[in-house]
Copies of this chain bind each other. A is one copy, B any other.
Amino acid sequence: MMSITDILYNGSMSRWQSDAQQRLAQAALTLYLERGFERTTVAEIAAHVGLTERTFFRHFSDKREVLFGSSNQLQALVVSAIMQAHKSATPIQAVAVGLEVLGELFAPRLEWSRQRQAVINQTPELQARELTKFNSLAHGIAEALQQRGINEFTASLSAEIGIVIFRAVFERYINPSNQKSWTHLLEESLEQVKTIMAGLNNRLPDVVGAKRRR
């Protein structure tokens, strides 16, 4: 099984395979932000850093790949951490362990993550793509939980809650005014969802009172 260190720092799983790939990615992001994703061509991205279209396609299968190319790494990281979580961990604790390691992934890429999200948020096609990726991640998490012996229904719900929490944490983490660590935001969001669910069986005092008065 891969360790977090393997996934984050070994050659094949590092952020960029080469200097050319990194320069192309940054150029792409800059142009997507300036001109819009749809209006940017691969030729323009390559020209921006003095490279050819052919070189671009050696590193990325298409324009979207620049933004979503690391989603498999992210999923591998989360799944690996869930599989390695303590055997007594509850489903939501295992999911929390899986999400916590992502802090190590995003901390050194904060500015990249902000710019990337700004591009996605202004492009419906990319938003749809992002939702599809989250859906795949949920399936990956649910499978990992089932491998830990958790039944399908609980595994699926726990995984979906994990995605809700991941999105909430990520949105707050990349906010320029945020001062809190990834782990701190994760704990807050988990506690908040727990509190929300604890409100499920609250009695409605006014209704009860009204009945009693009759």
Contacts and interface: CB of A to CB of B under 8 A. Distances in A.
A200 B156 contact: no
A20 interface: no
Interface of A: 86-93, 96, 124, 127-129, 131-132, 134-135, 153-154, 156-158, 160-161, 164, 167-168, 189-194, 196-202, 204-207
A173 B205 CA distance: 32
Nearest to A171: B156
A94 to B, nearest CB: 10
B207 A197 contact: no
A86 B91 CA distance: 33
B192 A168 contact: no
B161 A168 contact: no
A139 to B, nearest CB: 12
Given A157-B164, A164-B164, A192-B157, A200 B127 contact: no
A158 B196 CA distance: 7
Contacts of A127: 132, 135
A199 B161 contact: no
A67 to B, nearest CB: 16
A146 to B, nearest CB: 14
A71 to B, nearest CB: 15
A193 B88 contact: no
B91 A196 contact: yes
Contacts of A192: 153-154, 157
A131 B205 CA distance: 37
B161 A200 contact: no
Interface centre among A157, A196, A201 (most CB of B within 10 A): A196
**Most chain B Cβ neighbours within 10 Å, of A93, A127, A129, A161:** A161
